[in-house]
Amino acid sequence: MENDFKKEARKQYLHYFRVWFIILAVLLVVLIGVKIADSIKRTAASRNEKQPAERVYDYADVLTDQEEDRLRQYIAEKEQEYKIDIVLVTINEEIESHGDWELVMMNKADDFYDHNNYGYDKVHGDGVLLLDNWYEDENGSQKGSWLSTCGRVYEYFAMSEINEVLDEVYYLVDNDPYGAYKAYVDTVCRLVGDGESHSVFFWACLPGILLITIVVAAVYAAINLHQSKAKDTTTASTYVSGGKPVMKVQRDDFIRKSVTKRTIQSSSSGGGHSSSGGHGGSHRSSSGVSHGGGGRRR
C-alpha cells in the first residue's frame, strides 16, 4: 500500500507542476533557437566595402611610423575578432574659436566617422572612433578626447563604458601615446565582448529574479500552510426562546450635557524631485546617424 501512495504522490506532483514544466521546456527550446539564429547571423555578417582601409589618422603626429603600423595591424586583428570598426584620429587643432569644446569635438568625431562611411557591417554600422586633440598654446590647453560610438557599440555603451575607455586612455596618453591608444582598442573590445556575451543582462537581472521568486515561494508556502480553523457559529440568541429576550424596561433618561472648545492649529508642506536616464551620450550627427559618445578635457 505504501508503494501505491508513493506512486500516487508522484502522479499528483507531476500533474500539479505540468504547466510549469511545459513552460520551462518551451523557453528552453526558444533559447536554443535564439542562440542558433544569433550564431548564424554572426557568421553570415557581410563586410562594409565602402569604407577606407585606413584606421589610424595621426594628424597630431604623436606616434612613430612603426607605432602606427603596429597599431593598424593590432586593430585589424581585433576588428576581425569583434566585428566592429575601430578608428583613431589624433589632431592638433584650435577648436574653441568654433564653439563649445565638447560640441565641436563631438561633431568632428561623428562627421569623420560618417563621411568616411565607417561601419563594420554596413555604412554607418557597427564601430567606434576616438578623436584625440593635442592642441595647447600659451592661452591654455584644449587637450582632450571624444569617443564616438555607432551601431552595436552605441547599443552596448552607456556613459559608464565611455568613461571607462577615456580613463584608460588618459592614464597613459601623455607619457605613452601608443600604449594609451592600444588600451583604447583593448578596452573597447573588452566592453563590446561583455555586451555581446548576453550574460551581462542576465547577471544584472539575477538579484531581482531571486528576490521575486523567494517572495513568491514564501507567499505560496504561507497560503498553503494556512488552514482556516472552525469557528464558533452560535450567537447569543441561538438558544433563546423566540430568538430574542423580552425587554420589560428600556429607558435612556437624559441627565445633563457639557460643551468644551479648542482652537485648531494649521500647518503646510510641499516638495518634489525628478530623474532621467538612457544610452551613453545619445544624439544624431549632421548626417542623421544615431551616435553615442562622450568626452572631456584632460
Partner 1 sequence: MIFKCKNCGGNVVYSPEKHKMFCPYCDSEDSEERSDAVSSGIQICPNCGGEVPVGEHTSATQCPYCDNYLIFNERVEGEYAPAHIIPFQIGKESCKSMIREKFKKCRFAPIDFLSEVRLNSMEGDYVPFWFYDFDTNCDFQAEGTKVRCWTSGNTEYTETSYYHVVRNMDVAFKKIPVDASVKMPDDIMDLMEPYEYQGLVEFKPEYMSGFYGEKYNMPATLVMDRAKMKMMEDTKEMLKASYSGYSRLKVERQQINVNNVSENYGLLPVWKYIYHYKDKEYPFYVNGQTGKIVGTAPLSKAKVWAYTGTLWGCLTLILALVCEIAGYL
| Residues 199-218, interacting with partner 1 (CB under 8 A) | 199-202, 205-206, 209-210, 212-214, 216-217
Shortest Å distance, C-beta 83 to partner 1 = 16
Pairwise CA distance, residues 62 & 289, whole Å: 30
Shortest Å distance, C-beta 284 to partner 1 = 24
User: What one-character-per-residue DSSP string does 23-41 give?
Assistant: HHHHHHHHHHHHHHHHHHH
Binding mask 145-184 for partner 1 (x = CB under 8 A): ----------------------------------------
Nearest residue to 154 (alpha-carbon basis) of 278, 40, 296, 287: 278
Q: Which is nearer to partner 1, 13 or 59 (CB)?
A: 13
Q: Are 280 and 160 in contact (CB under 8 A)?
A: yes
Q: Which is nearer to partner 1, 239 or 288 (CB)?
A: 239
Pairwise CA distance, residues 80 & 99, whole Å: 37
Our measurement of the distance from residue 61's CA atom to the centroid of its chain's CA atoms, rounded to an integer in Å, reads 37
Q: Does 9 bind partner 1 (CB under 8 A)?
A: yes
State which amino acid sits at residue 108. K
Q: Does 31 bind partner 1 (CB under 8 A)?
A: yes
Quick check: helix, strand or coil at residue 142? coil
Binding mask 226-255 for partner 1 (x = CB under 8 A): -x-xxxxxx-xxxxxxx-xxxxxxxxxxxx
Shortest Å distance, C-beta 70 to partner 1 = 35
Shortest Å distance, C-beta 206 to partner 1 = 7
Q: Does 8 bind partner 1 (CB under 8 A)?
A: yes
Q: Which of 49, 65, 262, 270 binds partner 1 (CB under 8 A)?
A: 262
Q: Which is nearer to partner 1, 20 or 276 (CB)?
A: 20
**Which residues sit opposite 88 in a β-bridge?**
56, 130
Quick check: helix, strand or coil at residue 93? coil
Number of residues lying near partner 1 (CB under 8 A): 74
Q: Which is nearer to partner 1, 52 or 245 (CB)?
A: 245
Cα distances from 275 to residues 233, 279, 281, 287, in angstroms, run 56, 15, 16, 30
Shortest Å distance, C-beta 13 to partner 1 = 7
Q: Does 36 bind partner 1 (CB under 8 A)?
A: no
Which three three-digit cell numbers place residue 15?
500533474
Q: Does 220 bind partner 1 (CB under 8 A)?
A: yes
Exposure string over 280-295, b if 16+ CB within 10 A, otherwise e: bbeeebeeebbbbbbb
